[in-house]
Structure 1
Amino acid sequence: MCEGNNKNTMAIRVREFDMERDLPAVEDLERRCQVGLSGDQAESEEASAVVDADGGGAKKRRRRKKAKKQGMSLYVEQIGDPFARVRHSPDHVILVAEHGHGEEGGEVVGVIKACVRTVSRGKKKQFAKVACLLGLRVSPSHRRLGIATELVQRAEAWCEARGAAHATMATTASNSASLALFTGRFGYAPFRRPVFLGHPVHRHRARVPSAHRVLQLPPQLAAAAYAALLSPAEFVPADLPALLDHKLTLGTYLAVERGPDPALPPSFALLSVWDATRSLRLRVGGAAPLLRASLAAARALDRRAPWLRVPSLPDVFRPFGTYLLYGLRMSGPEGPALLRSLCRHAHNVARNNPACAVVAADLGPDDPAAAAVPHWPSFSCDEDVWCVKKLGSTADSAGNAAGNDDDYDDWTTLPPAEFLFVDPREF
């Protein structure tokens, strides 16, 4: 229960989400809090800024410097299931803040999602239970009343009770309100900066060099390959074999050279493809009418004269789906070229799904694979910021380890591992 400081004292009750009772109210709340694309952000009660976290039904926009000048924004809409981003974790919850009481309950004025998962951390092959906070929303008419604070604290307590040693959230570097709230009031610390790389899916097949051979690995063999290749890596899920065998993982693909030069080290590339078209839609907004018209003309020309192979952009001004690439690895002198071939192969796979218009990947900024992934700046972003906090009685009010001489126990002080694994189920 919390109280506000406006003319009318506000009584707020935080409880678990009820699908039948709360779904319409939560969807309406997220529509009214339409903001930013990418990470999970929070509602700044002090600045009363509109910021966002990735929740079911949420719309978000990611602004890049160039896109901001043009007034273009990239929106994401979760489809239907409010548990979409957390239900793959064995422990997950949605909490709602309710104001007032009545025969049918009070008004839903806030919401937050959370899950607990086991992932690898640091450069050592060690696993830890980690909480992930998502989808924090507060109604515009009920801000500056302590609702966000109550929701975050209750979510952290729920996760800690289920064994989480750390909590994470994500936002963007330009979202000063979100960063100030989480790094200030809640004691989180920025610690990782993944990059989002997207490429549109064209009507024409992408060319894979004849010197490259693409093989699809069965899930068990793919899991064995990743076990050898993802060390050291951060945020590799403990249930990686289940992820590789998930119905939305369309396949794990290995690219090798045909007739490699025996004098050179062997080269290969590996990645997996996740079908996100069933859980979210993207849409570009704010484009100038002239740009829209020119892109429509290019599509029309491509339909009428396909032999010209005009690289026409799909209609991204209407909701479209995406395939997410994950587990990208490469090795050897031909590794980058082989990885590019795998991305082209994934593009060709995506062509078979009319709902898919973009193929995208999330990678660590220092991952060599990032330089080899084909992408368009208009569908890419480097503003994501992951933040972490130590939970439990060993952490002080600022989220720092207290009375613990083992620096490894404090994730905020650990140098990044060589690779950052971004789970497509958490997108």
Structure 2
Amino acid sequence: MGEEEKIMAAGKKMVRVREFIMEDLPAVEELERLCQAGLSGDNAAGGGGGKKKKRGMSLYAEQIGDPFARVRHAPDHVILVAECGDEVVGVIKACVRMVTRGSSSSLRKTKTKTNKFVKAACLLGLRVSPSHRRLGIATELVRRAEEWCAARGAAYATMATTASNAASLALFQGRFKYALFRKPRFLGHPVHRHRARVPRAHRVLQLPPPLAAAAYAALLPAAAAAPEFVPADLPALLAHKLTRGTYLAVERSPGAGAPSSFAVLSVYDATRSLSFRVGGAPPLLRASLAAARALDRRAPWLRVPSVPDVFRPFGAYLLYGLHMSGPAGAALLRTLCRHAHNVARNNPACAVVAADVAPDDPAAAAVPHWRRFSCDEDVWCIKKLTSVTANGNAAPAAGDDDDWTTAPPSSVLFVDPREF
């Protein structure tokens, strides 16, 4: 793609799509503010305010800091902007990375536990200025992003939105023929001032990144359901400066002859790139929570479970790579979640510990969470990409003898916190 290219006429001005330059940063940040994103962070039409379409409180999420933060980890990444005159009126981010797609049908027939890797694109952060909607700008941004990804060998493109975001679903499922794919659950729990109690019968060990990578390499393919979306660069994620640690929980004295049980998870600091806020709370609830915080400050020995001030922007620690095994696995995973809570207490910017899991993942029942800080509206969509051959004909962007878009869902989804 050239540095600048005409795409359409919007009113009396020509709109162009080009790659992001640092001089665009203030305009892109303003688009983020105008098109406030919902919990999944991707509002395709950029409008409607991203809050959940429910009465009562709603959870908002906003991207902060480095505009490339969600895509920079991938070797191939880009930000495209739509420009009308001298004004940036639209933006989209994209990256291409290698991920597992679970067990393909050919592998399932042989009953192997080998994960199949595939090159997949991730489209993120589509925003269009409210003053320039319904002009086809979002459509052109998605089309150009898909072309960019297909040219780099991506076999599939994925995106995330919410079930209530009709505009996003109409664009991706309607115009671009994306298929509804997976529906992860977001489970959040507030971080209290008091340490969570860890059972004496459990022992928590921190694994150094090389050992953590080796553990995941052995555990994930051997899981009952081969996990989807595990990144090929998992060792780099585990060693990332924002990964606060990988933790293993075991029983101190398992019964004689009892099968071994364990649980493992990793903790990622998202406070520098992601900001949450709760809106729509009634004044009485705000006042009661403020009173609980005041009481907790004055009488900490009462151990009042006061909730942080979530009506102002706050950060989160994200749990990923959750895995448990054995009869005590669920209890050990709950212990790890409590340990992660205690780790998060050391960061004043963190008010919530959260995890994204598949709805059928056994780990979902073991993760402590509050309903008001959780969400089951997120949906992932997928599309098989095509590229244009030298003779101008459409062809699959990458060889794949098994269509992932129609594969039954795995009960284990690996949600990369760098893309959240």
| Residues 397-417 of structure 1: per-residue CA shift (max 9 Å, x gap) | xxx998x99761x21111122
**Runs of 5+ unmatched residues, structure 1:** 44-48, 53-59, 101-105
Q: Alignment identity in percent?
A: 77
User: Which residue does 2:283 correspond to in 1?
Assistant: 289
For residues 400 and 303 of structure 2, what CA distance do their matches in structure 1 show? 59
Match of 2:251 in 1: 257
One of 220, 239, 257 as aligned partner of 2:210: 220
Matched position secondary structure for 1:420? coil
Q: Is the 8 A contact 2:201 2:251 kept in 1?
A: yes
Question: Amino acid of the residue matched to residue 18 of structure 1?
Answer: I
Alpha-carbon offset, residue 50 of structure 1: 1.9
String of CA shifts for 1:3-49, please: whole Å, max 9, x gaps: 35x7x344111000111x21111112222222422142311xxxxx8
Question: 1:305 aligned to 2:299?
Answer: yes
d(CA) in 2 for partners of 1:94, 1:51:
23
Distance 2:273 2:257 in 1: 47
Number of matched residues?
396
Deviation at 1:273, TM superposition (A): 0.4
2:161 pairs with 1:168: no
Partner of 2:325: 331
After TM superposition, give the deviation of residue 393 of structure 1 in Å. 4.1
Q: CA deviation at 1:78?
A: 1.7
Alignment of 1:16-415 (within 5 A): 16-19=19-22, 21-43=23-45, 50-51=47-48, 60-63=50-53, 68-70=54-56, 72-100=57-85, 106-124=86-104, 125-231=115-221, 232-393=226-387, 408=402, 410-415=403-408
**Structure 1 position 389, deviation (Å):** 0.5
Is the 8 Å Cα contact of residues 389 and 412 (structure 1) preserved in structure 2?
A: yes
Q: Deviations over 1:264-287 (max 9, x none)?
A: 211000000001111122111221
Per-residue CA deviations over 1:375-395 (Å, capped at 9, x if unaligned) read 000000011100011111499
Superposed displacement of residue 77, structure 1: 2.2
Choose from 2, 11, 16 the match for 2:7: 2
Q: Which amino acid aligns with 1:294?
A: S
Distance between the aligned counterparts of 1:317 and 1:344, measured in 2?
24
2:107 aligned partner: none
The residue that corresponds to 1:418 in the other structure is 411
Q: CA deviation at 1:290?
A: 1.1
The one-letter amino acid of 2:407's match is L
Q: 1:77 is paired with a residue of what secondary structure?
A: strand
Q: Give 1:57's aligned residue.
A: none
The amino acid of 1:25's aligned partner reads A
Q: Give the equivalent residue in structure 1 for 2:109.
A: none
SS in 1 for 2:330: helix
User: Quick one: which amino acid aligns to residue 47 of structure 2?
Assistant: V
Q: In 1, distance between residues paired with 2:38 and 2:208?
A: 37
Equivalent residues of 1:42, 1:51 under 8 A apart: no
User: What is the TM-score when the length of structure 2 is the normalising length?
Assistant: 0.90
The 3 A distance-change label for structure 1 pair 406 and 302 is: closer
1:3 to 1:394, Cα distance in 2 relative to 1, 3 A: closer
Q: Tell which deviates more after alignment, 325-334 or 224-233.
A: 224-233
Residue 174 of structure 1: how far off its partner (Å): 1.3
**Alpha-carbon shift at residue 250 of structure 1 (Å):** 0.7
Higher mean displacement: 327-336 or 169-178 = 169-178
| Displacement of 1:145 | 1.4
Q: Is the 8 A contact 1:3 1:9 kept in 2?
A: no
* 1:51 Cα deviation from its structure 2 partner: 4.9
AA of the residue aligned to 1:412: T
CA RMSD of aligned residues (A): 2.0
TM-score (norm 1): 0.89
Residues 151 and 270 (structure 1), Cα distance of their counterparts in 2 relative to 1, 3 Å cut: same
Partner of 1:55: none
- 1:253 and 1:406 mapped to 2: Cα distance? 36
Aligned pair in 2 of structure 1 residues 151, 255: CA closer, same or farther (>3 Å)?
Answer: same
Letter in 1 for 2:217: A
Question: Structure 1's 51 and 93: CA in aligned 2 closer, same or farther, altered over 3 A?
Answer: farther
On the 8 A contact 2:36/2:62 being kept in 1, the answer is: no
Gaps of 5+ in 2: 1-5, 105-114
Does the CA-based 8 Å contact 2:268-2:417 persist in structure 1? Answer: yes
